[in-house]
Chain A
Amino acid sequence: MSELRFTEDHEWLRAEADGSVTVGITAFAQDALGDVVFVQLPELQSYDKGAEAATVESVKAASGVYMPLDGKVVETNPALDANPELVNEEPLGQGWFFRFIPSNPDAVGQLLTQDAYDRLIKANAEA
């Protein structure tokens, strides 16, 4: 299953074949942040859902990236150290942040679908 899931904090998640879940921020999020100049990636350790796992620094401000579910971070994107702009250029591709093993693998499927996320963005824009 490679379909994306989303959080209300504008992160995307993709379940990988090996049981890990890849996390990044959405196109909407990177556009709102502006030019990304630095990403502080998480440690390879367990985080609770909602914990600030990573920080994105744009030219304008620092923003937290929150752990979408309970789980253990097993890999971070080494390309972001030298090329943080990948977050802007390919938010859903090479701009991914980290991979983690969720404590409850079924929890991923309970997050927002693409449709639900698109509706959230639209509602935010109209608010």
Chain B
Amino acid sequence: MTTELLKTPLNALHRELGAKMVEFAGYDMPVQYPAGVMKEHLHTRDQAGLFDVSHMGQILLSGANAAKALETLVPVDIIDLPVGMQRYAMFTNENGGILDDLMVANLGNNQLMLVVNAACKNEDLAHLKQHIGGQCEIKPLFDERALLALQGPHAVTALARLAPEVAKMTFMQYTSTKIDGIDCFVSRSGYTGEDGYEISVPADQAQSLARRLLAEPEVAPIGLGARDSLRLEAGLCLYGHDMDADTTPIEANLLWAISKVRRADGARAGGFPGADKIFAQHQSGAARKRVGLLPQERTPVREGAEIVDADGTTIGIVCSGGFGPTLSAPLAMGYVNASFTALETPVWAIVRGKKVPMQVTKTPFVPPRYFRG
């Protein structure tokens, strides 16, 4: 049985550029272009890469109570999120597990723009409607808007040629602006660890904007393959792999994303699903935690590989792994029992029946280069 794959507004452009297309979250997406994952990855770290991330879900919340309402679903300070700023958040469930992770931007005028994962967007929309549908307007922009990411040290040079004001933005700032005459929302953020932008654009003008950006000398098209290796080097989580509904933010090592004001000792403590469980775990310590892992051989260690100690006892599992083109070495992230989380702890992954030595390491693996002004 085959089901018709969904297409982003850039589908024809991907094919024209010679992309290898694969199914991802129900969408027909480019995994790589003719340059290949390795070159695309390195080009992004060296110059600028253009990614089609239109499969992700953009949802607009409007109304005087929108921020207050959203705070009941995320452990993040939304009420005091300044206009023109974006923040990382996650939807939690009653057990403290992560339903999805997302970006929240304050557009001003009581409007919040959310960007959620493609695979979760319908569930997220239902979740929002069920819990806060009576408190604000919830408008999915799934077909209305496309999303492009322009990432890399020269992203600013390329984009500022078309919209000079974006050069002044700093990491996580968010603005509404015209790019090449097209009304866009632009954030200075991304999923690669590099400086760069994410650009929300009306679907019917997305292709025109993508072509305009690709015409800039620094910019090359980049597929999902390199998007994955870039985010892994940056130590960033991929929902459904590095966290899920059975993983808490504490276990996922995402305590930093829980705003101080929403923590147990904060002024607006709790008030989000699973708060008690998350606070208790923060207090007592999680039994397992996400860590960075550096294989000590050339063998890539991939998702699902069992992690064992010196005696061969199972102590965890790899959640993401592969080869880092910038690191020029294999790298992984995994969940290990709490007693193995200290940096430089030796652990082993079982790959094709053999023990591959690894070392627990800090993330990100490659230093981020966000523009903080």
Contact = CB atoms under 8 A, between A and B. Distances in A.
Nearest to A37: B323
Nearest to A38: B298
B330 interface: yes
Contacts of A59: 36-38, 41, 225, 229, 322-323, 325
Interface in B161-208: none
B316 to A, nearest CB: 20
Interface in A34-52: 34-35, 37-38, 40
B300 A38 contact: yes
A57 interface: yes
A57 B351 CA distance: 12
A34 B35 CA distance: 10
A122 interface: no
Contacts of A35: 36-38, 325
B70 interface: no
Contacts of A81: 298
Contacts of B360: none
Given A34-B225, A38-B323, A55-B352, A60 B299 contact: no
Interface in A20-46: 34-35, 37-38, 40
Contact of B32 (A34, A40, A55, A61): A34
B31 interface: yes
Contacts of A107: none
B36 A34 contact: yes
A5 to B, nearest CB: 27
**Looking at chain A, what size class is its interface with the partner chain?**
10 to 19
Interface residues of B, number: 17
Nearest to A32: B20
A82 B159 CA distance: 39
B43 interface: no
B176 to A, nearest CB: 37
A34 B352 contact: no
Given A37-B300, A38-B300, A60 B31 contact: yes
- Which of A34, A40, A60 is the most central at the interface, judged by chain B CB atoms within 10 Å of its CB? A60
Interface in B314-366: 322-323, 325, 330, 352
Contacts of A84: 298
B288 interface: no
Contacts of B300: 37-38, 57, 62
Contact of A34 (B37, B298, B299): B37
B145 interface: no
Nearest to A59: B37
Contacts of B352: 40, 55
Contacts of A60: 31, 37, 225, 322
A55 B225 CA distance: 20
A40 B38 CA distance: 20
B318 to A, nearest CB: 13
B302 interface: yes
Given A35-B37, A38-B323, A57 B299 contact: yes
A84 B329 CA distance: 12
A55 B330 CA distance: 15
A119 to B, nearest CB: 23
Name the 9 nearest CB pairs between A and B, nearest first.
A35-B38, A37-B323, A59-B37, A57-B300, A38-B298, A35-B36, A59-B323, A34-B37, A35-B37
Given A37-B330, A59-B325, 15 more contacts: A34-B36, A34-B37, A35-B36, A35-B37, A38-B298, A38-B299, A58-B37, A59-B37, A59-B41, A59-B323, A60-B31, A60-B37, A60-B225, A60-B322, A62-B300
16 contacts: A34-B36, A34-B38, A34-B225, A35-B37, A35-B38, A35-B325, A37-B298, A37-B330, A38-B298, A38-B323, A59-B36, A59-B37, A59-B225, A59-B325, A60-B37, A62-B302
Interface of A: 34-35, 37-38, 40, 55, 57-62, 81, 84
